[in-house]
Chain A
Amino acid sequence: DAKTTQPNSMESNEEEPVHLPCNHSTISGTDYIHWYRQLPSQGPEYVIHGLTSNVNNRMASLAIAEDRKSSTLILHRATLRDAAVYYCILRVSGYSTLTFGKGTMLLVSP
């Protein structure tokens, strides 16, 4: 399985933008980049996904490097409710299962 590398933790202040990096240097051409997050004591929640182009939705933006070896999840204005573990996952095209790593624990301060 293709692997991802994320920082163990990051800190942010409320209402500031947050950029969560993910390295995936062994990504293959058909791997999708997915982001999920897990709030304390809850199940994971889908955030966003992309293949080659940058993506925006109501929760976040996903910036994908031109060589696809890295990506960045952008939360435009962090809130206290965004404090969670964020997982960057490569999903092999044609396969449905997700392989979770350790993720990045995002701490948001008031």
Chain B
Amino acid sequence: NAGVMQNPRHLVRRRGQEARLRCSPMKGHSHVYWYRQLPEEGLKFMVYLQKENIIDESGMPKERFSAEFPKEGPSILRIQQVVRGDSAAYFCASSPDTPSYEQYFGPGTRLTVT
């Protein structure tokens, strides 16, 4: 059973461009979580999604950030008009159909904004 997959692993964008981060959860998992880790800081929760639904987006910045988890395909975290402060590692986690004690994390996407 493959683990949580994220791509790309590294992404470089210029200020003002769009960044799209993809997350494929583990097989059979329908809960996806996105976290952000700024340099020298801890992980911060951003958004929690189930298939086609956003359950909790309390950690998402109000502007420029959006997330989706369509019925088919990976979950996407989209950042429009990136700024240097968006440079961070973005981690995706998944858990099984029922709320689980464990979240399984992917290797992360490291976004660098130049």
Contacts and interface: CB of A to CB of B under 8 A. Distances in A.
Contacts of B31: 96
B103 interface: yes
- Tell me if B's interface is mostly helix, strand, loop or mixed: strand
Interface in A42-68: 42-46, 49
18 contacts: A32-B101, A34-B101, A38-B43, A42-B107, A42-B108, A43-B4, A43-B91, A44-B43, A46-B101, A87-B42, A96-B31, A97-B33, A97-B56, A97-B59, A98-B33, A100-B42, A101-B42, A102-B42
Interface of B: 4, 31, 33, 35, 42-45, 48, 55-56, 59, 91, 93, 95, 99-108
Given A44-B93, A96-B100, A102-B42, 17 more contacts: A32-B101, A42-B107, A42-B108, A46-B103, A49-B101, A94-B99, A96-B48, A96-B95, A98-B33, A98-B45, A98-B103, A99-B45, A100-B35, A100-B42, A100-B44, A100-B45, A101-B42
